[in-house]
Amino acid sequence: MINSENAVLEARDVTIRYGGHAAVKNVNLSIYEKKITAIIGPSGCGKSTLLRSLNRMNDFIDHVTQDGEILYRDTNLYDEGVDPVEVRLHMGMVFQRPNPFPKSIFRNVAWGPTINGLPGDINLRVERALKQAALWEEVKDRLDDSALNLSGGQQQRLCIARALAMEPEVILMDEPCSALDPVSTARIEDLLFELKQNYTIVIVTHNMQQASRVSDYTAFMESGTLIEYGDTDQVFTRPKQKRTEDYVTGRFG
Amino acid sequence: MTLLAASKYRWGEAILRQLFFVCAFISVLTTVIVIGILAVETSSFFEEVSVTDFLFGTEWRPLLEPKAYGILPLLGGTMLIVVGSSIVALPVGLACAVYLSEYASDRARNIIKPVLEVLAGIPTVVYGYFAISFVTPGLRLVFDDVQIFNAASAAIVVGVMVLPMVASLCDDALRSVPSSLREGAYSVGATSYEVTARVVVPAALSGIFAAFVLAVSRAIGETMAVTLAAGATPNLTLNPLESIQTMTAYIVQVSLGDTPSGGLAYKTLFAVASVLFTITLVMNLLANKVMRKYQEVYE
Amino acid sequence: MKISPSTNGDSLGHRSASLRRRHVVASLFKALCIGFTLFAVSVLGLLIAQVGADGLPWLDAQFLNNFPSRFPEKAGVKSALYGTLWVVSLTALIALPMGVLAAIYLEDYAPASRLTRVIEINIANLAGVPSIVYGILGLAIFVRFFGLERSVLAGAMTMSLLILPVIIISSKEAIRAVPSSIRLAAYAVGATQWQVVRSHVLPAAIPGILTGVILALSRAIGETAPLIMIGALTYVAFTPEGPMDEFTALPIQIFNWASRPQAEFHELAAAGIIVLLAVLLTMNALAVLIRYKGTQK
């Protein structure tokens, strides 16, 4: 269904259980380089759980077990020898609600590169990341202010800058606009187009308009199962599955 | 119901309301009376002893000739206990809290929390007994010149005594840090230590600070363990292996003897208690203020 | 200016030396936290072992039935046990109604005024006042001013003031946990404020209140310093018959024995501690039971 582009990440037969309950069931999914992949579906369909498995964030949740493989350039992220910290150096993440550290704007962006000893001048790195996140002009004169004084939209762009400063290959976004107003949301969507030139982006969203606006590929999940995956245009205009059609045309439920 | 009956009803309600108010107001009354008593007796103490002699004198000998009323040895003794118990209670208490909030499984938590609660509920006199029957003999095995009564032994058990409070309050503070902060830190490639030490603990710092202040205040006011284990020698020393006397232990010593009321020796009780009360009150006010602040941040 | 993503081909599974070092630090830190926690937990074990080893051989019917004596083999805790029960019962009678009524006032009646705020802050700070200061208060007010002498009543009133803040704080929490919808529903059918509190708020809050009260009373049982201050440490070879009688109490008897130099008396202190801990355990079991019953409804 999708041409043979360069897959960065490949989920193979992934099943994720909370205790006995399977939140993600036998999902196979490829994430392509420098494209935006949207994962949509009703709440509780397992889309966030799937996303969090891509940078091993489910490791922190008790009683979660996972079967199947997630290949990152032919290495299974869940292999014995793979260090989850190292995984997260390659996969940045932006969360549902802005979660800046209660530190200065500068320290928020600089913290990750510093603890990981990333090379180069840290001031330049912070500036670069803030510019890429389209926040630099607003904060360049008050980098030492607390990040908590920023507005919600600014905080979320700061969190994007925090992820960008690590220069990851993939950026995972878990409903990044769900806590933001429409203006801030539009700014972040614009930002996604910019970022696509350099990064592979996976975005989970419950907002179908958003998915159709920003993404190249769309995956539709329901009750833990991947129902349909394909070009965004195709999924929204000519869905192959009845259930996808019901959902994207609003006849869901 | 006639209107008259209704107004009778209101009348009863008003009386009840007043009664409830009186019960709540008794707490304020308690504070006022405590401060009043301490102020009156202390000022009459200061009619006979100068404030300077009391606050800066380095000898405390109120019951024997030649008499001296310098509180510094008692303050010094109390500080030895505070420092020693803090060395035990603050790091261990914080480490327990970090373990409970950041690492422990629900099962481990369900075992450890009650154990800490039991530790917190054990009467202080029991800790005093533990100090003289276990800690002091242990210290004497390790060090040569440990006196039978010594500050170290008392300080260790006071530390163990306030540890559960430190652990529980720090645990509350750490758990009030939203987990989204931890996820944010992990997402940029931090290890569990970096997340805890450089994001979670700093975010909980005001609550941890309040816990530490309350712990120190508890240690200052602790009485029975220090009376039993630290001795009754007002002694301005930095050596924890010597016998000392704290402010609280002095108060107990005087009240155990048959000190005639009204005399100067009797008034020393109130002068010392004033210092004790003032220090602990200031610390408690500070801690409660800080705690209210951090509760506002996250609630 | 462009960011070049790290597609430099570095594959996973070859962690750098610095990352390995960071993981070592993280493991050491976790081990340290676990170690300190185990230390805290093991202290309880040590304490119980020490008390048991010293005290159990002395614990028999005679120990419970005898009065204190200067001969260790004849000494017992009868007067101390009775004294403790007297003081605690009387303290409960005084502090329970006062604490609960104060909590009702603060939660359901008090206006949002400056005075209310002062009362609230004052209660929070009173909870942190060293117990020996309450002893001085009891000595000056109850023993001397009201002339109650070294009586059970003076002890109970002192203890009541000591635990009142604890009772008020925990009762307030229990009352606050009652959903306000219950109150509104009762007001809606024309109940007065007291009727609402008596018939709806209190019954729902009672398990929580009782749990807090029992924990506060456990604290009173273990407190020593205030009772010493009001002069309860006397040789008492009788059980109190009324609230005006002199008394001694378990922690005071333990203190007395522990402060003597002879080893036999230290062992008696340990035996006394076992009795004291047994009383406390009974109270706590009661609190757990009430909490359990309360959550079952």
Tens digit of pLDDT for each residue in B245-260? 999 999 998 888 766 7
**How far is C23 from chain B, CA to nearest CA, in Å?**
7
- Same domain (yes/no): C122, C36: no
- Please tell me the predicted confidence (pLDDT) of residue B2: 52
- Same domain (yes/no): C30, C85: no
**How far is C62 from chain B, CA to nearest CA, in Å?**
22
Contact B189 A111 (CB under 8 A): no
Contact C3 A198 (CB under 8 A): yes
**How far is C60 from chain B, CA to nearest CA, in Å?**
20
Contact A39, A215 (CB under 8 A): no
Over residues A12-20, mean pLDDT: 92
Domain ranges of chain B: 3-45, 60-298
- Same domain (yes/no): C267, C181: yes
Over residues A206-235, mean pLDDT: 93
B194 contacts in chain A (CB < 8 Å): 115
Scanning every residue of chain A, which has its alpha carbon at the shortest distance from the alpha carbon of C26?
A: A85
Residue B201 has pLDDT above 80, yes or no: yes
- Same domain (yes/no): C127, C246: yes
Contact A85 B199 (CB under 8 A): no
Contact A202, A31 (CB under 8 A): yes
Q: How far apart are CA C207 and CA B228, in angstroms?
A: 38
Residue among A83, A115, A169 minimizing CB distance to C6: A169
Over residues B63-73, mean pLDDT: 88
Over residues A102-125, mean pLDDT: 94
Residue B195 has pLDDT above 80, yes or no: yes
Contact A103 B191 (CB under 8 A): no
Residue C7 has pLDDT above 60, yes or no: no
Q: How far apart are CA A45 and CA A222, in angstroms?
A: 5
Angle at C164 between CA C163 and CA C169, to 5 degrees: 105
What domain range is C47 assigned to?
Answer: 17-58
What angle separates helix B3-45 from helix C78-104, to the nearest 10 degrees?
120
ipTM (interface pTM): 0.92
CATH of the domain spanning A7-99+167-248, picked from 3.30.930.10, 3.90.209.20, 2.40.340.10, 3.40.50.300: 3.40.50.300
Residue C126 lies in a domain: yes
- B90 has a chain C CB within 8 A of its CB: no
Question: Confidence class of residue B299 from pLDDT cuts 50, 70 and 90?
Answer: very low
Neighbours, chain A (3 or more CB pairs < 8 A): B, C
- Same domain (yes/no): C235, C157: yes
Residue among C29, C40, C136 minimizing CB distance to B163: C40
Superfamily of domain B60-298: MetI-like (1.10.3720.10)
Helices within C105-190 (DSSP H only): 114-126, 131-138, 152-176, 180-188
Residue C2 lies in a domain: no
Residue C105 lies in a domain: yes
**How far is B272 from chain A, CA to nearest CA, in Å?**
43
Containing H/E element for A217?
A: strand A217-222
Work out the percent of chain B whose per-residue pLDDT is above 70.
Answer: 94
Residue C111 lies in a domain: yes
Contact A117 C18 (CB under 8 A): yes
Find which of A10, A83, A91, A191 to mutate to test the C interface (most C CBs within 10 Å of its CB): A83
Over residues B23-44, mean pLDDT: 93
Domain boundary among C6, C28, C58: C58
Secondary structure of residue C246 in the 3-state scheme:
strand
- Please tell me the predicted confidence (pLDDT) of residue A112: 95
- Same domain (yes/no): C45, C73: no
Residue C6 lies in a domain: no
pLDDT digits (tens, 9 = 90+) for A128-144: 999 999 999 999 999 99
- Same domain (yes/no): C138, C268: yes
**SS3 track for chain B:** CCHHHHHHHHHHHHHHHHHHHHHHHHHHHHHHHHHHHHHHHHHHHCCCCCHHHHHHCCCEECCCCCCEECCHHHHHHHHHHHHHHHHHHHHHHHHHHHHHHHHCCHHHHHHHHHHHHHHHHCCHHHHHHHHHHHHHHHHHHHCCCCCCCCHHHHHHHHHHHHHHHHHHHHHHHHHCCCHHHHHHHHHCCCCHHHHHHHHHHHHCHHHHHHHHHHHHHHHHHCCHHHHHHCCCCCCCCCCCCCCCCCHHHHHHHHHHCCCCCCCHHHHHHHHHHHHHHHHHHHHHHHHHHHHHHHHHHHC
- Same domain (yes/no): C153, C204: yes
Name the domain count of chain C: 2
**How far is B245 from chain A, CA to nearest CA, in Å?**
44
- Same domain (yes/no): C51, C86: no
- Please tell me the predicted confidence (pLDDT) of residue A206: 86
Q: What is the CATH number of the domain that holds C114?
A: 1.10.3720.10
- Same domain (yes/no): C28, C141: no
Question: Confidence class of residue B1 from pLDDT cuts 50, 70 and 90?
Answer: very low
Residue with tokens 């009797």: B266
Find which of C43, C159, C161 to mutate to test the B interface (most B CBs within 10 Å of its CB): C43
- Please tell me the predicted confidence (pLDDT) of residue C247: 86
B184 contacts in chain A (CB < 8 Å): 95, 99-101, 159, 162
